[in-house]
Amino acid sequence: MFNLNTFVQLIADGLAQGSIYAALALAIVIVNQTTGLINFAQGGMAVLAAYLGMTASNLLIPVVGSFAGIIGGILFAVGASFALGAALERFVMRRFMGGDPDTAVVATIGLLTLITGLCGLIWTYNYIPYPFFFPSGASFMVGGIAISVWSLTTFLTILAMMLVLQLLFRGTKLGLGLRAISINSRSAALSGIRVGGLLMVGWGLAAALGAIAGVLVAAKVQLVPDMFDAYLVYALAAVIIGGLDSPFGTVIAAWGIAVMENLAAAYLPFVGHDLKIAVPFVALFLVLILKPEGLFGRKVVVRV
């Protein structure tokens, strides 16, 4: 019945899956911290990035070989995403800043529809394989337990990304500026910080992070325009459960959700693989009822 081998695999896959949720959730938190918005198009932008990476890789591989081609494709996806995120902030979202936040949110919904539609229009709604270093089913054995190569790669990549972001936010002047904006953008502007430029950087960083998540997901499940819709739900659940103002809490929540849903799908027969998306939803409700500011969030006190 209970099989340690399966159990460890479930945990490992859960942590990898959770890293994807965490990457998307962190992207959402970065945008939320700098602009106060929830970007519902974050998943759509990640998918677009993966499509761009796929196209670039397929163009490069015949010329420079498969390894360099794949690397080039990923770099292109990340760079293009950064530019796209910054451009969307400047030319679309800036218009709605300072106004009704609900209008801005609807604008991101419009962006999601537009970007998903563009992917469908350009690359069709059929599944397209992503050229990657190893096949999606590859695994290796550690002490008799099979660990998926994809899971390990994903976990380590996202972990490295988080460390880089942490260094950026804590150790550089750019990060200092971003943190200043997130605490009080008006005071930040008064002390000479170029808020507009940094908002673009914030959106760009979030989009770049999303791009990496997009490529990793595409490497496992192949590309389709709506492949991130479900991921968006997981990421938003992680954001709420962890607390909107706590990147650390968000990552922990993302891992927790993913491990939990994997275990529930395997060991609770009435959940099964098809209903595991309900797991974060139930967890979300419990957290909202018991501790609405999130497990790691601070209570927001508003001065009137």
Residues that bind other proteins (CB under 8 A): 36, 38, 40, 92, 95-96, 98-103, 105-107, 109-118, 120-121, 124-125, 182-186, 226, 229-230, 232-233, 236-237, 239-240, 245, 272, 274-275, 277-278, 280-281, 284-285, 288-289, 292-293, 300-304
Nearest to 66 by CA among 137, 211, 136, 74: 74
Select 116 or 148, whichever has its Cβ closest to other proteins.
Answer: 116
Select 54 or 112, whichever has its Cβ closest to other proteins.
Answer: 112
Select 145 or 233, whichever has its Cβ closest to other proteins.
Answer: 233
Nearest distance, CB of residue 1 and other proteins, angstroms: 24
User: Could you tell me which residues come within 8 angstroms of residue 244 by beta carbon, excluding any fewer than 6 positions away?
Assistant: 29, 32, 294, 297
Q: Compute the distance between CA of residue 271 and CA of residue 268 in angstroms, rounded to an integer.
A: 6
Select 160 or 288, whichever has its Cβ closest to other proteins.
Answer: 288
Calculate helix-pair angle for 42-64, 229-242, nearest 10 degrees: 120
Quick one: DSSP state of residue 128? B
Q: Is the dihedral of CA 73, 22, 182, 98 positive or negative?
A: positive
Nearest distance, CB of residue 13 and other proteins, angstroms: 19
Nearest distance, CB of residue 84 and other proteins, angstroms: 15
Q: Compute the distance between CA of residue 273 and CA of residue 253 in angstroms, rounded to an integer.
A: 20
Nearest distance, CB of residue 237 and other proteins, angstroms: 7
Select 194 or 273, whichever has its Cβ closest to other proteins.
Answer: 273
Tell me if 239 sits within 8 A of 247, measured CB to CB: no
Q: Compute the distance between CA of residue 180 and CA of residue 239 in angstroms, rounded to an integer.
A: 21
Select 4 or 304, whichever has its Cβ closest to other proteins.
Answer: 304
- Residue spans of alpha helices (H) in 92-194: 101-123, 149-171, 173-183, 185-190
Nearest distance, CB of residue 135 and other proteins, angstroms: 28
Q: Compute the distance between CA of residue 202 and CA of residue 33 in angstroms, rounded to an integer.
A: 9
Nearest distance, CB of residue 38 and other proteins, angstroms: 5
